[in-house]
Amino acid sequence: MIKKCSKCGEEKELSEFNKSKNGRFQKRADCKICQSKTAIARNKITYDSKVKWKRTIKDNFNLTVDDYNTMFENQKGCCLICKRHQTEFKKRLAVDHCHDTKVIRGLLCSNCNTALGLFKDDIESLFAAIDYLKKGRSKTKK
């Protein structure tokens, strides 16, 4: 039996198509060769993003991947603020640093890192936010 590949448009024997969970012939729409090419392209994107990340942490923080991994291990894979583990997040822990001194403080989840950034590392604003939250909590407990 012959089937037309949805990617290359060539007509090929059914044996040239991998199995599918659904479909008219229970075969994938794209042939094995096209499927393989797609997988290679997807892996290249993943590889390129890893290379980009390595370059970013080197350029922005003068960190190597080994430096990052050492910090990660020392923190037991957890955000230093919320204490949640890396496995709870889609993104890797971010390198947090002081924007004035450029000193690296540790690895934070995206939410905690963003929160500090939105407060512009202003300790007084953070204390004001804590006071605000405490007042709101005491009102709800009455």
Nearest by Cα to 28 from 36, 13, 18: 18
How confident is the model over 3-18, as pLDDT tens digits?
A: 899 989 999 998 898 8
Average pLDDT over residues 24-51: 77
Which domains, and CATH codes, for the chain?
A: 1-61 (no CATH), 63-134 (3.40.1800.10)
Is residue 106 within a helix (H) or strand (E), and if so which, with residue range? Answer: strand 104-108
Provide the pLDDT confidence category of residue 45 given band limits of 50, 70 and 90: low
Rounded to 5 degrees, what angle do the CA atoms 19, 24, 9 make? Answer: 75
> What per-residue confidence (pLDDT) applies to 23?
62
- Residues 68, 73, 74, 80, CA torsion sign: positive
How confident is the model over 75-128, as pLDDT tens digits?
A: 999 999 999 999 898 889 999 999 888 899 999 999 999 999 999 989 999 999
Pairwise CA distance, residues 76 & 83, whole Å: 10
In this predicted structure, the answer to whether residue 21 has a pLDDT above a threshold of 90 is no
Structure tokens at 29: 């729409």
